[in-house]
Structure 1
């Protein structure tokens, strides 16, 4: 079948532009070598013309993987909680998953998160679909504003 320029232009106009998602500066860590949970952090860039949303994450490294954030309850008390609606990634912008804020929570680790190894995490976006990211483990990385996960009951 031969497509002329007009037909091709009509097909392209009818096809929604997908978000162009890139993941940068990703790393995962556990609070200790025997921790039952860990977390992954990254910068999610959207070079597309439409907003997208990170709606799910999965990994064989944990029994359960959830999108989490921290909520300030006042009086210096922070609560970690699941964000079922996910995280918006604005068109032409970025959303940071960072310690003390939004992150991918790995609960019921299937093995230790060993320094220098990697963990495979599948991120699912509303428009861009699934993206597998190989995330390096960096238990030594120091970030300002980090929340201590070692006291979490996960």
Structure 2
């Protein structure tokens, strides 16, 4: 006499309560992982500052660069006017540009960087960026350091820079 295996098979989920519990658990996991994705974003008024990062520096280096994005969700333009950090003696906003002869130049930006209403500005390699001048300690891969950004209208916000590997191309840090 053979018995059907199917008759003794147990359903994967026995009840509606179990199904609901698993769905809630899955949503909680999704929320927890999404929080980690957005954990490196900061806000100041209508401004969203996305993923501040830097690169590790070689021993003895006196400068480091910093990068981030600033998204203005408001109806009025704002301006990043200054940066301060305990990692360096001073911090400046710089811009890299290539002139008509193909010569790349880097200069300090006076008057800050405008963040137009409803727009986003990326401080990134080869463009606007932050220069941390007179480093007090080397920046090592995996390190974090804080800096305070001052905006004309939104005020100040302290952010955490994450250090990527030295000299390498950074990962895509455009997500907030």
Q: Does the pair score TM above 0.5?
A: yes
In 1, are the aligned partners of 2:148 and 2:156 still within 8 Å (CA)? yes
Aligned length: 127
In 2, are the aligned partners of 1:57 and 1:121 still within 8 Å (CA)? yes
In 2, are the aligned partners of 1:31 and 1:38 still within 8 Å (CA)? yes
Between 132-141 and 30-39, the greater mean CA deviation after superposition: 30-39
In 2, are the aligned partners of 1:52 and 1:128 still within 8 Å (CA)? yes
Q: SS in structure 2 opposite 1:95?
A: strand
| CA distance 1:26–1:143, change in 2 (3 Å) | same
Does residue 142 of structure 1 match 2:169? Answer: yes
Q: CA deviation at 1:58?
A: 0.6
Structure ID, larger Rg: 2
CA RMSD in angstroms, aligned pairs only: 1.9
In 2, are the aligned partners of 1:29 and 1:39 still within 8 Å (CA)? yes
Q: Residues of 1 paired with 2:100 and 2:161: CA distance?
A: 33
* Structure with more of its chain in strand, by fraction: 1
Q: Which runs of 5+ in 2 are unaligned?
A: 1-43, 172-176
Does residue 65 of structure 1 match 2:91? Answer: yes
* Structure with more of its chain in helix, by fraction: 2
Q: Which runs of 5+ in 1 are unaligned?
A: 1-17, 145-154
Q: Residues of 1 paired with 2:74 and 2:157: CA distance?
A: 15
Between 31-40 and 101-110, the greater mean CA deviation after superposition: 31-40
> 1:29 — aligned with what?
55
Task: Find 1:93's aligned residue among 119, 125, 141.
Answer: 119
> 2:140 — aligned with what?
114
